[in-house]
Amino acid sequence: MSDRESGKPSSSAPAATAVILANNHFIRIVEAWVRFALAAPAVIRSFIVVAASEMAPLWPAIQTYTSPIGRSISLPENGAGATVGSSAQPATNIESSAVREKKELATADTSSVEASEVQNATRAETSGISADPLNFGQHRRANVSKKQMKIDHPKGNKKKLKKFYTRQNQLIDQFLGVDDEEQNAIEEDARVAPKIKFAVNASFVVNFCLFIIQLYAAISTGSLALFATAADAFMDLVSSFVMLVTSRMAARPSIYKYPVGRTRIETIGVILFCALMTTVAIQLLVESGRNLGAGGHESGELHIIPIVFVGVAIFAKGSLMVFCLFYRKYPSVHVFYIDHRNDIAVNSFGLIMAVAGEKFVWYLDPIGAILIALIILFSWVTNAFEQVWLLVGKSAPREFISKLIYMAMTHDEQILKVDTCRAYHAGQRYYVEVDVVMDDETPLRISHDVAQSLQRKMEGLGDVERAFVHVDYEHEHDVHEEHKPLYVREPKTKRTWKEIFTGAKKKVQGENPDSQVA
């Protein structure tokens, strides 16, 4: 018989009651922990605010803060002035949330490279350097009109004064905008990349169509000037293919074969482009001179259809030239801009000379071809020399070097002086070498972090390929003694013709001929 049937109380009732009470007690404990967890941040925040306000008088005595990764970070001096309840950030918020997150990442990550990058970012955000530490902004003139120049400088040259203050304003704007240039360059490259691709592809298509049209016009008319323009269009196709290949090679670097990248191959591609166009120009000169010396000849009749086709091609070239004009600072687009500009002049002139040679005087056609060849030759030889000087290592403009010096001087308070600053071309972009002076007691960690962050900052500029920062403790040495002498030459000595042809050296007065080293 069961307990229920006998009327006795169930033996499982006390156990069930105990389980219910235990569950209720556990739920209360969990609720208490949840409430404590929700209230803990506010309590801790209030405690830190009170502690920070009490520590405010002692804040100037604290010089550095040692992070969990063992790096020394300079704390901002304006943190001592923060008071509780003011509109400004309280003393506990001296370091932003982003800085705290970066410190936590540096603590969790044991990689020395990543920890160094986190430390550099932390130093940059906590350095306390203002956006305009040298107060250059107050020297910027709002009104640089000639009328204002006449009021400010009655006896001065208004045109030169306007030019001077305009350049000064531009230089100040460059100085004050160096911190945002890296991000702006990245955003600009992402924004204009599709347009650059369109300019290159559209130029290739138009060059192909132009070659077909001009070849048809030259064959149907027999005009030497139109043959010259057709040859120019054909070489444009070849050069477009060369530029396409070089740009693709530059976009796919091989860090083991080419540790600094292959961006300079674009410059070599431009030089090869110029060599091809120069070859075409010389060949046109030879053929036109031969035709001119042979005397008069009969050419085909000019029809309206080839002339209309050439006119349409010229219009398409003009449209692409205007489009490439806005993006000509990019190497690939700049080459096509020059190509379209020259093609408009060459094709227009060639069409005019072909019509004039057929309708008026026969020798205008070969003369026009010679002039077209000279235009092509001069244009591309000039461009080739410009590219060669970029590979040789031409120096950067003074304005750009001034901007680099400003960046180095205002980068960190540990930098006392800028000893040397060089910037020179290595292709389309610059290589930068900067020697900065720090105190001789500066710890190695701090000097390394400052130099590395300055290097990354300079490499973030759109025109800089690589940057090298060297730290020194004094500036009184000769800067040319740090590297292999490049400009020191042996003194010239006069030699006779016999010594020149035999290779014998001139005897120095007082030298013993018997004292020779075996």
Look up the CATH number of the domain holding residue 466: 3.30.70.1350
Which of these ranges, 59-68, 342-351, 478-487, has the smallest mean pLDDT?
Answer: 59-68
Cα dist from 250 to 189, 269, 331, whole Å:
15, 10, 12
Contact 336, 210 (CB under 8 A): no
Mean pLDDT value across residues 221-246: 73
Residue 209: strand, helix, or coil: helix
The token pair at 228 is 């010259």
- Paired residues of 424 in beta bridges: 395, 431
Residue 182: per-residue pLDDT: 56
**Shared domain check, 118 and 51:** no
Q: Has residue 300 been placed in a domain?
A: yes
Strand ranges for 205-364 from DSSP E: none
Q: Has residue 505 been placed in a domain?
A: no
Q: What range does the domain containing 38 cover?
A: 18-55
Rounded to the nearest 10°, the torsion over CA 333, 336, 338, 344 is -140
| Rounded (5°) CA angle 506-512-518 | 90
Look up the CATH number of the domain holding residue 243: 1.20.1510.10
**Shared domain check, 224 and 274:** yes
**Shared domain check, 210 and 339:** yes
Q: Has residue 84 been placed in a domain?
A: no
Residue 430: per-residue pLDDT: 92
Q: Has residue 407 been placed in a domain?
A: yes
**Shared domain check, 224 and 361:** yes
pLDDT score of 66 more than 50:
no
**Shared domain check, 425 and 308:** no
pLDDT score of 453 more than 90:
yes
The token pair at 208 is 């192909």
Q: Last residue of some domain: 150, 176, 202?
A: 176
Model pTM score: 0.54
Q: Last residue of some domain: 363, 390, 417?
A: 390
pLDDT score of 332 more than 50:
yes
Q: Has residue 86 been placed in a domain?
A: no
**Shared domain check, 203 and 67:** no
Q: Has residue 6 been placed in a domain?
A: no
pLDDT interval class at 374 (50, 70, 90): confident
Residue 450: per-residue pLDDT: 94
Judged by phi (left if over 0) then psi (alpha if -120 to 50, else beta), residue 261 lies in: left
Beta strand pairing call for 417-425 and 72-74:
unpaired
Q: Which of 437, 8, 409, 492 is nearest to 178 (CA)?
A: 409
Residue 439: per-residue pLDDT: 92
**Shared domain check, 186 and 170:** no
Q: Which of 373, 360, 356 is nearest to 287 (CA)?
A: 373
Give the residue, 69 or 449, on which the prediction is more confident. 449
Residue percentage of the chain with pLDDT more than 90 = 9
What does the mean pLDDT of the chain come to?
70
Q: Which amino acid is at 52?
A: A
**Shared domain check, 103 and 71:** yes
Greatest C-alpha distance within the chain: 143
Count of domains observed in the chain: 5
**Shared domain check, 336 and 277:** yes
**Shared domain check, 120 and 33:** no
The per-residue pLDDT for range 161-204, each reduced to its tens digit, is 888 888 888 777 777 765 555 565 666 666 667 777 777 777 77
Residue 143: strand, helix, or coil: coil
Residues 29 and 33: their CA atoms lie apart, in Å, by: 6
- Paired residues of 430 in beta bridges: 425, 464
Give the residue, 127 or 49, on which the prediction is more confident. 49
Residue 470: per-residue pLDDT: 93
Residue 423: per-residue pLDDT: 93
**Shared domain check, 320 and 436:** no
pLDDT score of 16 more than 80:
no
Q: Has residue 486 been placed in a domain?
A: no
Q: Has residue 242 been placed in a domain?
A: yes
Residue percentage of the chain with pLDDT more than 70 = 62
The per-residue pLDDT for range 241-268, each reduced to its tens digit, is 776 777 777 777 777 888 877 778 878 8
Give the residue, 61 or 433, on which the prediction is more confident. 433
Residue 65: per-residue pLDDT: 37
The per-residue pLDDT for range 147-158, each reduced to its tens digit, is 787 777 887 887
**Shared domain check, 67 and 51:** no
The per-residue pLDDT for range 507-516, each reduced to its tens digit, is 545 445 444 4
Give the residue, 59 or 466, on which the prediction is more confident. 466
